[in-house]
Amino acid sequence: MNYEDPNANVALPIFSIHGNHDDPAGEANLSAMDILAQAGLVNYFGKHGLGGGGAGRVDLKPVLMRKGLTKLALYGLGYIRDNRLHQMFSVKGCVRWHRPAETSDCASSSWFNVMLIHQNRAAHSKNAISDRYLPEWLDYVVWGHEHECLIEPTEVPGGFHISQPGSSVVTSLIEGEAKEKKICVLEVKADPENPNGAPYWRTTAIPLKSTRPFEFEQIALASIGELEATDQKGLSTYLENRVNAMISRAHK
């Protein structure tokens, strides 16, 4: 960990997995994240070698953090091609989860289990990764790759909560990108009266104020009663007015 280096002055340690634009490649299986980690700027984890034939195997071992009575287990799974990861989840034993050991002074239930994942979540294809592949004992999942900001944690049938931060800037001209961009602060604290029980947690959403404004609107001209299909000037004027109204909203 970079903050354990006596020659480095780290005020805010950053733990990061790779995404689909900086995934490991080449003979040495290197990512751009490796360079940042070697420079001591980030703590890079969630990288798994998948050489050879077959589906491959992933061992998900957490980064364990402890501050006072509060304990957090941080799991990471960097981007893997959807079809391959889908196959791995479908074959028993290809994805193995490792939980903190149960000891006399530290129960497994006292750990707050957080998962970082960067995959297609929505059903873009039959190989999109479903939250049902994740174990029920997880507490909180941060889901990357999807652009739409759904930062508020939502509980899934498995019992854990998912937060989808989305992209911090507008990267594609789709409706989901027109929503307000936010980040989220997650606070975790152990119950002092029941240190072996599940910790308390809460999230605070923080809107990003410096993102480029983006407005999205879908118009079906055929449904506008006062317009005639042959009135080219009227159609142009109507569309121009709608665009100007969107620009005004963006300025506000």
CA–CA distance, 60 with 46 (Å, rounded to integer): 8
CA–CA distance, 80 with 188 (Å, rounded to integer): 29
Q: Is 21 one of the catalytic residues? A: yes
Residues 78 and 44: beta-carbon distance below 8 Å:
no
Among all chains, which residue has been given the structure tokens 């109507």? 238
The full length of the chain comes to 252
Catalytic residue among 21, 48, 86, 161: 21
Phi, psi dihedrals of residue 107, rounded to the nearest 5°: -80, 150
Residues 78 and 164: beta-carbon distance below 8 Å:
no
Write the Ramachandran bin of 159: left for phi over 0, alpha for psi from -120 to 50, otherwise beta: left
Cβ count near 140 (within 10 Å): 19
Catalytic residues: 21
